[in-house]
Amino acid sequence: MIQHAKRGGEKKLFINNKCYKVDGYYFDKKNKTHNVYEFFGCYWHGCQKCYSPEEICKKDRNKKTMKELYDQTKERLKIIKDYFQPNVKIHTIWECEFDQQKYPEVDPYLKPIDKRDAFYGGRTETIQLYNNLPDLKGRYVDFCSLYPTVNKYCKYPIGHPITYTNISVDDYKKGMYFGIMKCKVLPPRGLYHPVLPYKQLTSDNTHKLLFGLCRTCMNKISVKCTHINDPTLTKYDKTHAIKHCKECKNIKNEKCIHSDEERFYRKWKGYKL
């Protein structure tokens, strides 16, 4: 008989002065084997199929990334396994796998759209203006924000949304749909001006807006510089040294060799105006 929350309470394991609770536990007397059962909620344990590694778990009090939660889950399983060695069997299932077994007709990875993620603000762009007027003096003044104009003249989806799934790209191109979309995008190689924005979580838990053609490359260049570690440098000198770090520049100038699966924009969200 499996011990769980509604039958004897969750099994408590005291390992190295720390209490570990497992969802289910059963000791097989015949084979003298410890059976541990764990059900992993995708959001709370950082499922790699449902969430990107750099995404922040907003409900976690420590604001950990999904990768940190996933690594923490794996480490916890290892501790429990080592505790019961050698006669132990650990049975695990992820929430999305359970849903797929229970509702095979429903896509378990299709999550609701967070509408805020479909809007990208700021003045970040992949190009900049170049003024080559030797006899004139050029000035650029941001005299009026575009937000009032956009709010007054541009279209916004209103009312209760109608959800469409598995629509064809041709129908979307013809303008048959209007609103917010959630899709998987593979940018073309060698595009001179990347046009799709991508929010990348940096090492200091802030989002940086980038325009690129490869998700993995953008993740790679957003990592905090670790090459400058001279303790005698002042804060200003260290900032200047990091800005001109040759190792970081070499990483940014590397040619992309990643596969299409590594280049995909996972769960990209956009707003069609």
Q: Where are the domains of the chain?
A: 11-102, 160-271
Encoded amino acid at 97, one letter: E
CA distances from 210 to 2, 180, 217, 219, 222 (A): 50, 20, 11, 10, 9
End-to-end CA distance of the chain: 58
Other beta carbons within 10 Å of 235: 7
Helix, strand, or coil (residue 131): coil
- Report the pLDDT value the prediction gives residue 273, as an integer from 0 to 100: 36
Q: For residues 120 and 17, give the distance between their C-alpha atoms in angstroms, rounded to a whole number.
A: 47
> Which has the closest alpha carbon to 200: 53, 58, 64?
53
Helix (H) or strand (E) holding 37: strand 33-40
Q: Is the pTM of this model over 0.85?
A: no
> How do the pLDDT tens digits run along the chain, 273 residues long?
888 888 888 888 888 888 888 899 888 888 888 899 999 998 889 888 888 787 888 777 777 888 889 999 999 999 888 888 888 889 999 998 888 888 766 665 566 677 777 777 655 566 666 777 788 777 766 656 677 877 788 877 777 878 777 777 777 777 777 777 777 788 888 888 888 888 776 656 667 788 888 888 887 776 666 656 666 666 656 666 666 676 666 666 778 888 888 888 765 555 443
Q: What is the pLDDT of residue 109?
A: 53
Closest CA to 56 of 71, 74, 68: 68
Q: Is the CB of residue 77 less than 8 Å from the CB of residue 38?
A: yes
* CA-wise closest residue to 205 among 224, 226, 228, 225: 224
